[in-house]
Structure 1
């Protein structure tokens, strides 16, 4: 399994990478949205993880841009990983095209459950 994580905080990327390593998954890291969108053009991924607060383009717009693609990559499962806690956050994320939302700090079992769930729903990729 190959995961793309678009997240500006290197420590958050490291923690999630360490979790995915346990499951034998690989993770590509993008520090901002534009970098992640370029990586999406260049490689094949099974799941996209995206933070909401990043310099430049935020996570909501990043999800919109991915969903607006005219190819299969626009249908990849997207999981938001965020520290935001607004009451309507989950609904806002789902409305722009996210498949699930995880709240920081992310627990390994929650990460694996979410990835498994979105892959089962979207019908593709390897399960963790």
Structure 2
């Protein structure tokens, strides 16, 4: 499995990478949304982890741009990973096109359960 994590905080990327690497999952990193979108153009990923609050383009705009694609990359599973706990945020993310939603700090079990659930849900659709 090959995952792209779009996250501006290097420490958050490092923590998640350690979790995924321990499970032999390949993780690629983008420190901002424009870089992440470029990496999606150029690479093949099975899933995207997307932070919301990033300087410049935020995660919601990046999700919108991914979903606007008319190729298979526009259908990639996206899990939002955010520290923002606003009341309606999960619903807004799902409406924007995210598949699932995780709150930071991410726990190992929640991360893997959410990835498995999201992949299974996409396969059924």
TM-score normalised by L of structure 2: 0.97
Q: Which runs of 5+ in 2 are unaligned?
A: none
Q: Distance in 1 between matches of 2:86 and 2:54?
A: 17
Question: What residue is the counterpart of 2:34 in the other structure?
Answer: 34
What pairs with 1:50-89 in structure 2 (closer than 5 Å)?
50-89=50-89
Q: Distance in 2 between matches of 1:58 and 1:6?
A: 10
Runs of at least 4 residues off by over 3 Å: none
Q: Distance in 1 between matches of 2:73 and 2:123?
A: 14
Q: Distance in 2 between matches of 1:71 and 1:57?
A: 22
Q: Which runs of 5+ in 1 are unaligned?
A: none
Size of the aligned set, in residue pairs, is: 124
Q: Distance in 2 between matches of 1:68 and 1:115?
A: 22
Q: Distance in 1 between matches of 2:42 and 2:121?
A: 25
TM-score normalised by L of structure 1: 0.95
Q: Distance in 2 between matches of 1:22 and 1:100?
A: 22
